């Protein structure tokens, strides 16, 4: 089975059962999440999981591009990936546990023809707050699964969310494929990491909202959120034991092998896999319509880390310096028919890789020379001080991940505790800390964040009034305390311009304007001059939020009902975010 066949079989299966196909959202999350990238199909749907009506209806399905960095150190094994595609289906207050289980079972057994005896499932075992989910376990039994195929686990394994401090959450049931290996022990089960079981699907029953005080309350609607890992399922269906032997990686792997005399042996296998996997992730991040670039913070930092880690491995094995662009070209050609933005942004992708490669070659050469001097003074199992590791980072721009990898290759260790202490002190001084950068989490959907969401629309509108219509949003992040808004512009704003932007926003607040929300077709939204990225990220119907005289944008919400809820708008800071992108941080205060 090909990847495209699997994508279409999944989507068509759910469309035939009343689900509307929605487009893959950007890898840079909408709806103001604090997570750096879209890590699951549910991220763009948070407002709807919390009760907003979705313009496409109550049953949805799609194939979502995702980036996860929490397992980056596991990349190179048989299953873990930084970039992956998630097949998902959702019920927004429509069907719940029984139909969700039935749909999943039907697709796996009748469409994909996976034998029932090769399935295993896990179910929430319950705690003092939420009861054991015997209901779901019974449903699996009616499908033909035996007691030995059903496992009960606690919150660590079978409770999803909230992604942040607050938000939608609930018990889940995870579906695993039994690889046919012998059990590693009497306690062997899906929670074991011996390789006998591979997770392929997760059905989350979102029926609670966690509040900031730690309490739980029932959601107005009971929702279902599911996600199936496309790469893992494709691997299983094609009888492979790792994702790199599938069509998803064979073209780029063959290209890499053709450029060197080094064999794809056990000694080099992991590095070959990392180069190919990271090349794919780099391609999709740079190819995203929101166009982020390598930098020292947030998404740009992740992108820079992936590019530089790949280049270091390329240099380690003596590959030609420019092969990263060659590998990326293979990936673009492979995926551009499915994800048109890769072909459309091909020149930008290659240009950014070349710029970052040139910059890093200089950094890497000087950093490597200095690191080699440090390591040459150490015997096996000796410790490189945190001070020297931090000096490599701070003075030579040499990432700590590279220092750790070099140390591991030479059989020495790094005093990471001392490094982290020095790093934390440095970050507190520069206020560009990396702590929390890799933690998932969505901004809570409180009244305050909804108001700040409306404030970003007013800010966007004000910037366009002051600086011109060429301004467009490049990203946003909202907490209860402040908003952060990135926009396209190539210079620092003057004090007069910032004053005028603030004046326009506060003028709108003082006018007590009702925020209007209207559902319409995408063409109608375009003809009405609503702001939005008019590509395949939207479905056939969209929501347009209007603040008459100030803003008109396609958006999923949530928002305030009237501008007078916002209080006083105050710009805290204006600064560069990346090349051609400026950033404004602001807050709203109340008398």
- Spell out the residues 6+ positions from residue 266 whose beta carbon is closer than 8 angstroms to its own: none
User: pLDDT tens digits for 380-389?
Assistant: 778 888 888 8
What gap in Å lies between CA 126 and CA 170, rounded to an integer? Answer: 11
| C-beta separation of 229 from 86 below 8 A | yes
Of 295-304, 329-338, 524-533, the range with the highest mean pLDDT is 329-338
pLDDT value, residue 428: 60
Residue holding tokens 């670039």? Answer: 293
What confidence tier does 539 reach under pLDDT thresholds 50, 70, 90? Answer: low
- Give the whole-angstrom CA distance, residue 205 versus residue 224: 5
Question: Using N-to-C axis directions, what is the helix angle for 386-396 and 400-409, rounded to 10°?
Answer: 130
Q: How confident is the model at residue 446 (pLDDT cuts 50, 70, 90)?
A: low
Q: In the chain, pLDDT over 70 holds for what percent of residues?
A: 93
Work out the pLDDT band at 537, boundaries 50, 70, 90.
Answer: low
pLDDT score of 346 more than 90: yes
CA distances to 6, 289, 317, 324 from 330, rounded to whole Å, are: 21, 20, 20, 10
Q: What digits encode the pLDDT tens for the residues 185-233?
A: 888 999 988 888 999 999 999 998 888 788 888 888 899 999 999 999 9
Contact predicate 73/54, CB 8 Å: no
Could you report the per-residue pLDDT of 132-179, keeping only the tens digit for each? 999 999 999 999 999 999 999 999 899 987 766 677 889 999 999 998
| pLDDT of 367 higher than 60 | yes
The CA distance from 392 to 585, in Å, is: 31
For residue 162, say if its preceding peptide bond is cis, omega within 30 degrees of 0.
yes
Bridge partners, 478 (sequence order) = 483
Query: Rounded mean pLDDT of 58-70?
Result: 91
- The C-alpha atoms of residue 161 and residue 143 are separated, in whole angstroms, by 27
Using alpha carbons only, what angle is made at residue 119 by residues 118 and 124, rounded to the nearest 5 degrees? 155
pTM assigned to the model: 0.73
Average pLDDT over residues 117-123: 96
Among 456-460, 540-544, 563-567, which is the least confidently predicted range? Answer: 540-544
Q: At residue 536, does pLDDT exceed 80?
A: no
Question: How high is the pLDDT of residue 100?
Answer: 96
The whole-number pLDDT of residue 50 equals 77
**Cα dist. 367→354, 385, 450 in Å?**
20, 16, 45
Q: To 5 degrees, how large is the angle CA 149–CA 153–CA 154?
A: 165
What pLDDT digit, counting tens, does each position of 427-444 carry?
Answer: 565 443 733 333 333 344
Which pLDDT score is estimated for 407? 86
Please report how many Cα atoms fall inside a 13 Å half-sphere around the Cα of residue 25, on the Cβ side.
22
pLDDT of residue 79: 81
At 397 the pLDDT is 66
Q: Are 388 and 422 in contact (CB under 8 A)?
A: no
Q: What is the per-residue pLDDT across 249-286, written as a single tens digit (0 to 9) for each?
A: 999 999 998 887 777 877 889 999 999 999 999 999 99
Examine the pLDDT at 457 and tell me if it is beyond 80. yes
Residue-wise pLDDT for 368-426, tens only, equals 888 888 888 887 778 888 888 888 877 776 778 778 888 888 888 889 988 888 877 76
Residue 533: what pLDDT? Answer: 59
Bigger pLDDT: 473 vs 227: 227
Structure tokens at 48: 């709807």
Tell the burial category of 129 from Cβ atoms under 10 Å away from its Cβ (0-12, 13-18, 19+).
Answer: exposed
In tens, the pLDDT along 80-116 reads 899 999 999 999 999 999 999 999 999 999 999 999 9
pLDDT at 429: 55
């Amino acid at each position: 089975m090909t990847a495209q066949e699997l994508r279409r079989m999944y989507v068509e299966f759910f469309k035939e059962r009343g689900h509307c196909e929605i487009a893959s959202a950007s890898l840079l999350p909408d709806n103001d999440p604090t997570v750096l990238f879209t890590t699951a199909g549910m991220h763009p749907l948070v407002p709807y999981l919390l009760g907003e009506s979705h313009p496409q209806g109550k049953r949805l399905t799609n194939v979502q591009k995702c980036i996860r960095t929490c397992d980056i150190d596991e990349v190179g094994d048989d299953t873990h990936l930084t970039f992956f595609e998630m097949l998902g289906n959702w019920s927004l207050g429509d069907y719940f546990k029984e139909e969700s289980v039935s749909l999943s079972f039907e697709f796996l057994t009748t469409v994909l023809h996976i034998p029932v005896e090769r399935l295993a499932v896990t179910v929430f075992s319950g705690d003092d707050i939420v009861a054991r989910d015997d209901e779901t376990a019974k449903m699996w039994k009616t499908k033909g699964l035996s007691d030995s195929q059903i496992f009960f686990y606690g919150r660590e394994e079978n409770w999803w969310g909230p992604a942040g401090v607050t938000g939608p959450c609930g018990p889940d049931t995870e579906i695993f494929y039994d690889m046919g290996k012998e059990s590693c022990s009497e306690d062997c089960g899906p929670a074991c990491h011996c390789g006998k079981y591979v997770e392929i699907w997760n059905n989350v029953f979102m029926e609670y909202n966690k509040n900031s005080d730690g309490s739980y309350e029932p959601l107005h609607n009971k929702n279902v959120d599911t996600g199936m890992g496309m790469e893992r399922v494709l691997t299983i269906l094609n009888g492979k034991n790792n994702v790199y032997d599938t069509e998803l990686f064979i073209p780029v792997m063959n290209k890499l092998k053709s450029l060197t005399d080094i064999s794809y042996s056990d000694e080099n296998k992991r590095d070959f896999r990392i180069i190919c996997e990271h090349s794919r992730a780099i391609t999709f991040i740079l190819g995203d319509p929101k166009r982020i670039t390598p930098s020292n913070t947030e998404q740009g930092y992740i992108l820079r880390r992936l590019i530089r880690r790949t280049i270091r491995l390329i240099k380690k094995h003596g590959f030609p310096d420019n092969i990263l662009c060659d590998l990326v070209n293979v990936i673009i050609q492979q995926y551009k028919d499915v994800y048109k933005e890769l072909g459309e942004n091909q020149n930008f992708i290659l240009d950014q890789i070349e710029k970052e490669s040139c910059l890093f070659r200089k950094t890497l050469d000087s950093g490597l020379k200095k690191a080699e001097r440090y390591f040459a003074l150490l015997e096996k199992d000796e410790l490189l001080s945190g001070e020297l590791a931090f000096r490599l980072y701070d003075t030579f721009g040499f990432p700590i991940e590279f220092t750790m990898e070099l140390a591991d290759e030479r059989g020495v260790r790094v005093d990471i505790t001392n490094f982290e202490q020095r790093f934390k002190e440095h970050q507190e001084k520069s206020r560009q800390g990396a702590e929390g950068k890799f933690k998932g989490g969505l901004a809570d959907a409180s009244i305050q964040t909804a108001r700040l969401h409306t404030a970003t629309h007013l800010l966007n509108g004000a910037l366009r009034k002051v600086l011109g219509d060429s301004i467009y949003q490049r990203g946003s992040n909202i907490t209860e305390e402040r908003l952060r808004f990135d926009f396209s512009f190539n210079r620092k704003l003057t004090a007069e311009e910032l004053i005028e932007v603030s004046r326009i926003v506060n003028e709108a607040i003082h006018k007590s304007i009702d925020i209007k929300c209207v559902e319409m077709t995408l063409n109608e939204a375009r003809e009405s001059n609503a702001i939005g990225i008019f590509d395949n990220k939207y479905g056939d119907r969209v929501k347009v939020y209007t603040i008459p005289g100030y803003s008109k944008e396609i958006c999923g919400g949530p928002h305030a009902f009237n501008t007078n809820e916002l209080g006083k708008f105050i710009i805290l800071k204006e600064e560069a975010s990346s090349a051609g992108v400026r950033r404004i941080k602001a807050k709203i205060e109340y008398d």
